[in-house]
């Protein structure tokens, strides 16, 4: 398989070299051509599609494990199929007085490169050599909130907790925490999402990821073509 050596520049401007075996799209024209060949590859802004969705992206602030801002003017985007599936999850939660809060969705490839430089552990950060489902617009990090209070349901840890306690299989937790995780997991699975074993908040859509290119465009560049 051909290994591409990509000079990362378009996603976040860090200019960091990163090796990958995945096909990377790093310009708007190539992405438009890909979407033209398969309209299912299009992206959509989740906030515009899903009523009542809360967006709170820590990577747009220094309050994340890197202690630095990774995104500028971030917007939560996914490909069409996972976005539509997430809308159905939200509808079911709304009937229970609950809603989704999204921490991260599409993530430019350059950001994954920077994360990997800091945490070279595939349990928590995708290896750029393979590319992330986040980079393909197929993955979402999220939790559940109470619609009236806006408070997050107790999931046992916060977002990006790199300990065993955050693992899907970890059971030494209060019953309510286990029930909250089960609720999220059950609904996400019902609508086609798969768990990530070491992160209770991370889900990726069941589509064949090899069909979707890794994208290294900024949020502004995506917005300009959608």
Pair 86, 46: CB distance under 8 Å: yes
The structure tokens listed for 45 are 């802004």
Q: Strand 24-25 vs strand 214-215: parallel, antiparallel, or unpaired?
A: parallel
Per-residue pLDDT at 11 = 38
Distance in angstroms between the alpha carbons of the first and the last residue of the chain: 32
Beta-carbon contacts of 57 under 8 Å, excluding residues fewer than 6 positions away, are 71, 74, 76, 102, 103, 104
* Cα separation, 93 vs 10, whole angstroms: 36
The conformation of residue 2, written as its DSSP 8-state character, comes to P
Give the Cβ contact number of residue 128 at 10 Å: 26
The CA distances from residue 28 to 32, 175, 185, in Å, are 6, 48, 35
Q: Return the half-sphere exposure (C-beta side, CA atoms, 13 A cut-off) of residue 204.
A: 19
DSSP state of 22: S
Task: Name residue 204's beta-bridge partners.
Answer: 139, 194
Q: Which CATH architecture has domain 4-225?
A: 2-Layer Sandwich (3.30)
Mean pLDDT by 10 residues, the chain (226 residues): 34 54 92 96 97 95 89 91 98 98 96 82 74 94 97 97 95 98 98 96 87 94 90
Q: Is 36 left (phi over 0), alpha (psi -120 to 50) or beta?
A: alpha
Query: What global pTM score does this model have?
Result: 0.88
pLDDT of residue 60: 92
Helix (H) or strand (E) holding 42: none
pLDDT given for residue 17 in this prediction: 59
Q: Where are the domains of the chain?
A: 4-225
């Amino acid at each position: 398989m051909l290994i591409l050596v990509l000079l990362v520049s378009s996603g976040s401007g860090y200019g960091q070299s990163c090796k990958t075996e995945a096909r990377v799209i790093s310009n708007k024209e190539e992405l438009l051509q890909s979407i033209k060949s398969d309209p299912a590859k299009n992206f959509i802004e989740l906030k515009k599609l899903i009523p009542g969705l809360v967006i709170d992206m820590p990577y747009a602030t220094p309050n994340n494990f890197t202690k630095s801002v990774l995104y500028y003017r971030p917007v939560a985007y996914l490909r069409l199929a996972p976005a539509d599936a997430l809308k159905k999850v939200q509808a079911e939660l709304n009937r229970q007085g609950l809603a989704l809060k999204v921490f991260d969705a599409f993530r430019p490839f350059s950001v994954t490169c920077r994360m990997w430089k800091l945490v070279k552990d595939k349990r928590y950060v995708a290896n750029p050599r393979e590319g992330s489902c986040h980079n393909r617009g197929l993955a979402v990090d999220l939790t559940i909130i109470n619609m009236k209070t806006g408070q997050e349901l107790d999931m046992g840890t916060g977002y990006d907790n790199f300990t065993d306690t955050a693992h899907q299989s970890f059971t030494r937790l209060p019953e309510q925490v286990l029930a909250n995780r089960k609720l999220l997991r059950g609904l996400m699975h019902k609508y086609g999402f798969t768990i990530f074993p070491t992160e209770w908040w991370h889900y990726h859509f069941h589509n064949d990821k090899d069909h979707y290119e890794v994208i290294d465009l900024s949020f502004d560049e995506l917005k300009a073509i959608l």
